[in-house]
Amino acid sequence: QEGRAGWCCPGASRHKFAYTARGRLRLRAGLPIVECNSHCGCGGDCPNRVVQRGAPGGLRLCIFRTADGRGWGVRTLRSIRPNCFVMEYVGEIITTEEAERRGQEYDRQGATYLFDLDYVEDVYTVDAARYGNISHFVNHSCEPNLQVFNVFIENLDPRLPRIALFSARHIRAGEELTFDYRGHVDPVDAESSRMDSNFGLASGGAPGGSPRARGRIECKCGAGTCRKFLF
pLDDT tens-digit series, residues 23-38: 899 998 888 898 988 8
Q: Would the pLDDT of 5 be above 80?
A: no
The whole-angstrom separation of Cα 35 and Cα 80 is 22
pLDDT at residue 131, as a whole number = 84
pLDDT for 95 = 92
Helices (H), 13-88: none
Dihedral, 29, 65, 217, 94 alpha carbons, nearest 10: 60
Q: Could you tell me which residue, 96 or 4, shows the higher pLDDT?
A: 96
- Residue 129 to residue 114: CA distance in whole angstroms: 8
The stretch 143-161 carries a mean pLDDT of: 90
Q: Residue 66 pLDDT > 80, yes or no? A: yes
Range in 29-33, 56-60, 167-171, 226-230 the model is least confident about:
226-230
User: 63 versus 5: which is more confidently predicted?
Assistant: 63
Q: Is the confidence at residue 184, as pLDDT, over 90?
A: no
Predicted local confidence at residue 110, as pLDDT: 59
pTM here is 0.78
Q: Find the mean pLDDT for residues 180-195.
A: 47
- The answer to whether 118 and 159 are in contact (CB under 8 A) is no
Is the pLDDT higher at 100 or at 79?
79
> Does 7 show up as a binding residue in the annotation?
no
Q: How many CA atoms lie within 13 A of 207 on its CB side?
A: 2
The pLDDT assigned to 156 comes to 82
Average pLDDT taken over every residue of the chain: 77
Residue 84 is labelled as binding a ligand = no
Q: Tell me the pLDDT band of 111, cut-offs 50, 70 and 90.
A: low
Give the model's pLDDT for residue 10.
58
In order of their start, the domains of the chain are 11-90+133-179 (2.170.270.10)
> Is 39 annotated as contributing to ligand binding?
no
Q: Does 106 count as an annotated binding residue?
A: no
CB 103 within 8 A of CB 110: no
- Rounded to whole angstroms, the Cα distance separating 42 from 217 reads 47
- The percentage of residues in the chain with a pLDDT greater than 90, rounded to a whole number, is 30
Quote the pLDDT of residue 207.
Answer: 26
DSSP 159-172: TS-EEEEEESS-B-
- The answer to whether the Cα torsion of 33, 186, 219, 70 is positive or negative is negative
132: CB partners within 8 A, 6+ apart = 90, 91, 113, 197
Average pLDDT in the 94-107 region?
86
Q: Is 62 one of the annotated binding-site residues? A: no
